[in-house]
Amino acid sequence: MVAGTKLKSRYFKKIPGGHTITRSDRMHKDIEKFDHDFPDGVFAFPAPAESPKVKIRALDKYCKEHGVQPKDLTDEEMRQFLV
């Protein structure tokens, strides 16, 4: 135990009223700011043009009906979901 240690950090600041602003407060504000930049909640990068297009809903339905994972499908089974 170290007595009298003072933490000097940009993450600990006092504001008028006595509340200490901590790293989690700053991170929370940063996350809120980031979330407000994407009002519909979507943050995605477009797929490369050469990547195959897949009918995801049909693939999901097929896998649930047959009790398999998409990674376990044969090439022939997978072809029916390519656009």
Give the start-to-end residue ranges of the domains of the chain.
9-44, 46-83
The CA R_g of the chain, rounded to the nearest whole Å, is 25
Residue 71 has pLDDT above 90, yes or no: yes
Q: Do residues 11 and 26 touch, judged by C-beta distance below 8 A?
A: yes
Looking at residue 18, its pLDDT comes to: 64
At 2-56, the pLDDT tens digits run 554 555 555 556 666 666 667 777 888 888 888 787 777 777 888 899 998 999 9
Give residue-wise pLDDT tens across range 39-51: 777 778 888 999 9
Q: Is 82 in contact with 53 (CB distance < 8 Å)?
A: yes
Half-sphere exposure of 60 (CA within 13 A, CB side): 3
Q: What is the DSSP string of 6-47?
A: ----TT-EE-TTSPEE-HHHHHHHHHHHHHHT-TTS---PPP
